[in-house]
Amino acid sequence: MGRYIIQRVLEAIPLLFLVTVATYFIMNLAPGGPLAIYLHNPHVTQSQLAILARQLGLNQPWYVRYFRWLWALLHGNWGYSYFTGQPVIQLIGERLPNTLILMSAAFTVALALGIPLGVYSAVRQYTPFDYSFSFLSFFLWAMPSFFFGLLLQIIFAVKLGWLPVAGMYSNFAPPSILELLRHLILPTLVLGLGSLAGWSRFMRSGLLEVIRQDYIRTAEAKGLSQRRVIWKHAFKNALLPIVTIIGMDLPSFFGGAVITEEIFSWPGMGRLFLSSLNDRDYPVQMAILVISAALLIFGNLLADLAYGFLDPRIQYR
């Protein structure tokens, strides 16, 4: 197990390195480049542009520029926003926590409701609950998250007025945990319900598969209560494939976060990313690509470790 953990961590490091190479490569394809803002300025001559390019190191070959960028990145210098002039690391530092709040809330809701609902649906297979929940999850899964978000806004914020339409805190009340929670409810539902639907369905089918195995029949034959058979004997084995699925599902949280933050004006990294696209703010885009990929790799690493923890048979090849 210890060897497995170390191997997994060691595998993640070169991948992270490749991520920075790929990011640099992609952003090098961007039209314009750092000097684009000067190109149409009549006061900037061709020779001045050449001097600027030399000062900024743009005349160097790409691999030299890449390693200088990587070196700076590793030392906490993430460059400066073309648009606001602020250090990128500061911009990200302001936004990333908000995104992580939203994501962890959605993740927690999806996990805490999806898994038990899936188990319940499997135990009550072919009952009205099972049918209606399965049907509902089909729709939640298929509904575009922005459409779902707009519906929730119409119903709960505009018509009923129970919850705020958008934002993270109220303009009319001092910021407090309670205000944050009130503003968090709708975005969390939008971001979390799709995964909730998916995970509960996999939990259901996974458990249905496990409870047909012989060792479960043995446990039942011993006279154990159904609760004990399900939770003590079947659940852990059925959970194994779900862990992989949850790990693979993490990218959808990033995509979902961009859309959710946009609908609910949530001041997170996703909206920062969208505005950096509109502003052609390449340093910010690069930083967000690297950070989101790093978070994804880390998430998958955690999922692998959870898998190894749940399944003691696992051995690193």
Partner 1 sequence: MAITTQIATQEAFETLQEPRSSSHFWRRFRHHRLAMVGLGILAIMILISLFAPLLTSYSPTAPNLAQTLLPPSAAHPLGTDDLGRDALSRLMYGGRISFLVGFGSTIIAITIGVIWGAVSAYLGGIYDRLMMRFVDLVMSFPVIFLLLIVLNFTGSHASVWLMVLYLGLFGWTGLSRIVRAQVLSLKNLDYVEASRAQGAGPLRIIFRHILPSAMAPVWVSATFGVGSAMLAEASLDFLGFGLQPSIPSWGNMLDAAENYIVSHPVLILAPGFAITLAVVALNFVGDALRDALDPRSTTGMSRIG
Q: Which residues bind partner 1 (CB under 8 A)?
A: 15, 18-19, 22, 26-27, 29-31, 125, 130-131, 134-135, 137-139, 141-147, 150-151, 153-154, 158, 194, 198, 201-202, 204-205, 208-209, 212, 241, 244-245, 248-249, 251-252, 254-255, 258-259, 262, 273-274, 277, 280, 285, 288-289, 292-293, 296-297
Chain-centre distance of CA 309, in angstroms?
23
Burial (CB < 10 A; 0-12, 13-18, 19+), residue 197, is: buried
Beta carbon of residue 189, minimum distance to partner 1 (angstroms, whole number)? 16
Question: Counting runs of H as helices and runs of E as strands, what totals does the chain give?
Answer: 13, 0
Phi, psi of 124 (to 5 degrees): -100, 40
Beta carbon of residue 178, minimum distance to partner 1 (angstroms, whole number)? 27
**Using CA atoms, how far apart are residues 103 and 187, in angstroms rounded to an integer?**
9
Instruction: State the SS3 of 115-159.
Output: HHHHHHHHHCCCCHHHHHHHHHHHHHHHCCHHHHHHHHHHHHHHH
Residue linked to tokens 């052609």: 280
60/252 with CB nearer partner 1: 252
Length of the chain, please? 317
Beta carbon of residue 71, minimum distance to partner 1 (angstroms, whole number)? 21
Beta carbon of residue 102, minimum distance to partner 1 (angstroms, whole number)? 15
Here the tokens at position 158 are: 């505009």
Beta carbon of residue 57, minimum distance to partner 1 (angstroms, whole number)? 23
179/262 with CB nearer partner 1: 262
**Using CA atoms, how far apart are residues 299 and 245, in angstroms rounded to an integer?**
12
Which helix (H) or strand (E) segment is 274 a member of?
helix 269-278
Q: Using alpha carbons only, give the angle 235, 136, 189 rounded to the nearest 5 degrees.
A: 80
Beta carbon of residue 120, minimum distance to partner 1 (angstroms, whole number)? 16
Between the alpha carbon of residue 14 and those of residues 7, 76, 146, 298, the distances in Å are 12, 19, 36, 13
Residue 75: count other Cβ atoms within 10 Å of its Cβ.
8
Beta carbon of residue 239, minimum distance to partner 1 (angstroms, whole number)? 14
